[in-house]
Structure 1
């Protein structure tokens, strides 16, 4: 069995619409899915796949049907454009239509090829966490052959109670989303999750610090989870009651599908959300249904605490940053944790591509050195070259700055587990979060 420790040491710590049948029992990974095990490292434009543009939206939207079919509870339907979704009657639910139309509008910035699975669940009487934990979510990922790379969980919780500025159901849902992401990683289908911060109440000073979540005194790191508390105020203002405090997760999901994995979903040059002719994102707001311009003094605090929302850059609305719900960590060996969405998504792609190239080597027969019984230099270089080829392609696509594969020369392939031990190190791309300069007035430049 090929494996690596659960770490990618980098100078980083560490589907026309198709239906998926429902399931109520959680499925276990197949034997084949465990043949190549690539684990995360501990703290201490797209090439290859194309799956980066495949996303999923999970929510409870009630009865939805149209001339092309219905979004029956527990059955995922894949759409390749907003027009296909209209054929399923999504215009009957304003929020669902918003998420779908925004997803395809924004995803188009990155070119064609984006698609969206929509999973409508019956969550009557259930909590937000119950929706995330529904077995149909895992079945959707499994039946889609692991192609789903970005997923958003959308919910307007029934309860209105706030805890640390968030709806009482939000944090449990975030933790459930991380557990789901861990399952996806362990079954070789890594992805990144977005959770709706619907009902956020603030103020920023009292809001939960998403970069320092604790439970029973212990740190809780949700590195594959991002919380969205941004909304389009004009759209929200026309909605009834609690829906006015919805989160624009469809827009954020569209940015994820549009951007290469190593890019920030808030890149100012390419990811403007504003579309004046359509009247979209003219007035950015928080999920408290407060306009961004009215809470400007709170934005630095919200940004430091890891919340995602829209803010203004020369009149255009762009997401503030690609935060995840985890602290920034770097250990003495230079390993970093996945403390941004770009790091999380790039690490997921690295694992997927390495898994794909090493899987065919399972049960292959290789020569060993007759004196030591271990792999000779040539075979070590051969197996290292497989991984290095992946890193080279990723580097050429500007998705990583570089990477290296190291095979343990002490790997025993003659008896026991016959495990080839491989270590993968990669260095991410950098991001310019701000520019700080000094302007001087000179009487002459010479």
Structure 2
């Protein structure tokens, strides 16, 4: 019907989200160098002279990140050429004072023949950062040719539980437009936004919460032409459309552990197929949410225990064991942040225990055992249905 219609848009106030779970990092390799900086919205790119013309890929992924999760914090860097060492990941995390929880690496000129080498190197870096109690999850995308799509390696053999590989891409909007001049741009910015938007316990493939379609970009970003809704047409980063693949081919890519865009019949929107990491499926950390949950627990328990370093601990003079009051106090201290995660629905339960039979006088070392029950994810729902004469 005729009339005036109003559409409420979100994100204009640039309100910053509480906490640090959303704090993210993005490094794009293959464009003009951009110094490390912190952004609170896509408009901030203007302050560092980054435009859709000077750095189209970086500008796009930053825009996509904030489109999905306005109010988050994003540390960014542009690197002209990749040497496959990715030392910039460590430096950017250090620049952010260890606050980055998830980082996207878009190396769109790196051939997929180097995929395993790159993933394993990034996983090694993530493991080293974790030793310093600054753990993060890493997303990675590289250049993929159409001829390689059906022969991509199985990521579940990579033993790299801290890295996920993104091969999805927009098929009819700004991402597709950029792909015309910069192939394999991927949709890693949007995926990073989805990771930062989700609770640490949530899968980024949660259909009810993670629709990646919201709006279109101004035609100034797409060569003066209006394009469709971003991510409304799912594609792969070789430029091929998801709709042109058979169910068996899509299942094969899913079974190999790649992240890409999917749609569900009868449900509007575009979503991620899953939240795989590049490790065996029976690994405790086979999914991004498993890593983010344990990483948050580590950071939070570390926060309350660090002040106790070199503190006195008393011994029961009759038994030589640790005094019960010391044990109770330390267990309660560790339980405090885990109780907060439980209240926030980020874990299902936890248990903290400290054995009194520890030789602290001889070793000056105390062992604390933490057990966390994670939140499950409904990856598949099986419904049995049939006709019957009576119920």
- Relative to the length of structure 2, the TM-score reads 0.86
Provide structure 2 residue ranges, at least 5 long, that are not aligned to the other structure.
Answer: 1-16, 218-228
Count of paired positions: 358
SS at match of 1:239: helix
Q: Which residue of 1 aligns with 2:45?
A: 85
Q: Residue deviations 1:332-360, cap 9 Å, x none?
A: xxxx6211100011111010011001111
CA contact 1:199–1:242 (8 Å) conserved in 2: no
Q: Is 1:263 aligned to 2:224, yes or no? A: no
Shift, 1:157, TM fit = 2.2
Match for residue 77 of structure 2? 119
Conservation of the 8 A alpha-carbon contact between 1:204 and 1:301:
no
Aligned to 2:28: 59
Quickly say closer, same or farther: Cα 1:242–1:180, change in 2 above 3 A.
farther
Q: CA deviation at 1:141?
A: 1.2
| Inter-partner Cα distance in structure 1 for 2:67 and 2:170 | 14
Q: TM-score, normalised by structure 1?
A: 0.76
Please state if 1:253 is matched with 2:205.
Answer: no
Alignment of 1:291-306 (within 5 A): 291-297=241-247, 298-306=249-257
Write the distance in 2 (CA, Å) between the matches of 1:172 and 1:200: 18
Name the structure 1 match of 2:367: 421
Shift of 1:383: 1.4
**CA distance 1:200–1:149, change in 2 (3 Å):** farther
2:14 counterpart residue number: none
1:90, distance to aligned residue in structure 2 (A) = 2.8
More displaced, 420-429 or 199-208?
199-208
Q: How does 1:6-85 map to 2 (within 5 A)?
A: 50-63=19-32, 71=34, 75-85=35-45
1:232 alignment counterpart: 170
Q: Secondary structure at the match of 2:353?
A: strand
Q: Tell me if 1:430 matches 2:376.
A: yes
Does the 8 Å contact 2:110/2:143 carry over to 1? no
What are the superposed Cα offsets for residues 143-179 of structure 1, whole Å, 9 maximum, x if unpaired? 32210111011112255xxxxxxx1122211111101
**After the TM superposition, which of the residue ranges 248-257 and 366-375 deviates more from structure 2?**
366-375
Task: Give CA deviations for 1:241-262 in whole Å, capped at 9, x if unaligned.
Answer: 6723222111110001100000
**Contact 1:236 1:244 (8 Å CA) reproduced:** no
Q: SS of the counterpart of 2:108?
A: coil
* Distance in 1 of aligned mates of 2:147 and 2:294: 32
Distance change in 2, residues 1:200/1:107 (3 Å): farther
How do 1:251-330 and structure 2 match up within 5 A?
A: 251-278=190-217, 279-297=229-247, 298-313=249-264, 314-329=267-282
Q: CA deviation at 1:97?
A: 1.3
Indicate if the aligned counterparts of 2:168 and 2:260 stay in contact, CA closer than 8 A. yes
| Cα distance in 2 for residues equivalent to 1:148 and 1:440 | 50
CA contact (8 A) 1:236 1:289 kept: no
Distance 2:179 2:259 in 1: 24
CA RMSD of aligned residues (A): 2.1
Q: Once the 2 structures are TM-superposed, how far is the Cα of residue 288 of structure 1 from its aligned partner? A: 2.1
Q: Secondary structure at the match of 1:100?
A: helix
2:96 to 139, 144, 168: 144
Q: C-alpha offsets along residues 122-148 of structure 1, whole Å, 9 cap, x if unaligned?
A: 42xx43x23x2x2x4322212322101
The 1:202/1:263 distance shift into structure 2, 3 A limit, reads farther
Q: Write the mapping of 1:92-241 to structure 2, written as runs, cut at 5 A.
A: 92=53, 93-108=55-70, 112=71, 114-123=72-81, 126-127=82-83, 129-130=84-85, 132=86, 134=87, 136-157=88-109, 159=111, 167-199=112-144, 201=146, 206-213=151-158, 221-234=159-172, 235-239=174-178
Check conservation: 2:175, 2:187, Cα contact below 8 A: no
Q: 2:320 aligns with which of 345, 368, 373?
A: 373
Equivalent-residue separation in structure 1 for 2:252 and 2:179 (angstroms): 29
Select the residue among 352, 355, 369 that pairs with 1:408.
Answer: 355
Q: Which secondary structure state, in structure 1, belongs to the residue aligned with residue 93 of structure 2?
A: helix
Measured in 2, the distance between the counterparts of 1:343 and 1:158 equals: 28
For 1:86 and 1:280, the matched residues in 2 are separated by 22
**Correspondences of 1:332-411 after superposition (within 5 Å):** 337-411=284-358
The 3-state SS of whatever aligns with 2:191 is: helix
Contact 1:157 1:169 in 2 (8 A): no
